[in-house]
Structure formats: C-alpha cells, structure tokens
Amino acid sequence: MHFAAPEDQHLVPWRQLAGMSRLPFVLIVVFASAVPACGGPAKPPPSPSPPAGRTLADLVPMCQRVFARKQACADDYLPVLLDLRIELNLPPGIADQVKAEGRDAALVRAHTELARDTQPENVNPLCEAAAEQAKKSPPEHVDKLLALGARCEAAADCKAYAACVVDMDRKFIRTGPRYR
C-alpha cells in the first residue's frame, strides 16, 4: 500500500520507513519469532525471560510506550532505521530513492511521517489490534515479546533504544512477506 499523495507516486512509502504501515510493534516481534530467517540457525538462541508479572494485558501499554519513545528518540531512531532499510533495500528501491533524493531529505520526510503516525488516534487502534492478534499466538511468543520489549524499554538513552528497536525491526523486515 502506498501512502504518498498522488502527485508523489514515485516516492518510497515513507510510513514504511517510520514504522506505521508495517505491522505494529507487537506483530513484528510475534511474527519474527515465528518465522525463521532463511539460512539462519536451525534453532534460535534462547530468548530472555519475560519480565516478572507481565501478561498479555501489558502488550497494549507497551506498544503505546514503544511508539511514543520512537517519536521522542526520532533523531536517533530514524537514521538507524533508514540505514537498515538501505542495507536490505526494503522496500525495494529505497536505496536508489535515498541516493537520488538525498539522505537529509529522506529523514525530513520520515520525521514528518513519524510525528503524524505516532499520534494516539493512530497508535491506539494498531496496538489494540496487535494485542488481539497476539492472543492467537503461543504463550512463549508473547513471553518473548514482553521480554524483548522490556529490554528495549530499559535502554538508558535514545541511541541504545534505537539500536534495540531497530534490531527487532530487522528480524521482521528480513523475513516479512510484505516486500517479497
């Protein structure tokens, strides 16, 4: 799905860069943990234990906090996400688009999209829908999600947070069917 205005049909869909047209945070990690990467190890390394006392009910608030912190940390988050997308060239053509348009212009567009997309009226329905989907997942996937989310939330600063969140995004972007 392309989110740019009709006159911008040639542009890369920037909401994909900012994180909103991809599956929401919750589905990213649940899906990523369910689908092994091509050529990856047969058995993934053990995941950290879920935070004590956290349950499926914690997913919506966690998802909302993740999007809020992505916005708060946008100056660190978006360049790391852009680098990942360029490295993987996903969505297809993004590397050439950024080369033609310039990195600074790409980041300006991504900041604008992220600011709009992280508004509560956009985030809340996504997080709620993602939590509903997570209810259909095996409990160990929810536990892994809670543990990974807690690890990112515990990041001391925006640079560490951006690296953590984009590392989770990497798993989805590489294995996700959206661009294949």
**pLDDT over 90 (residue 56):** no
Instruction: Output the pLDDT for position 11.
Output: 37
Which pLDDT tens digit goes with each residue over 72-104? 999 999 999 999 999 999 889 999 999 999 999
Which pLDDT tens digit goes with each residue over 124-172? 998 999 899 888 989 888 888 889 999 999 999 999 999 999 998 887 6
- At residue 3 the predicted structure's pLDDT band, cuts being 50, 70 and 90, is very low
User: Rounded to whole angstroms, how far apart are CA atoms 114 and 78?
Assistant: 9
Which pLDDT tens digit goes with each residue over 9-30? 333 343 444 444 443 433 333 3
Q: DSSP per residue over 26-78, as a string?
A: HHHHHHHHHSPPTT--SSPPPPPPPPTT--GGGHHHHHHHHHHHHHHTHHHHH
Instruction: Output the pLDDT for position 112.
Output: 96
End-to-end CA distance of the chain: 13
The residue ranges of every structural domain in the chain are 13-34+54-179
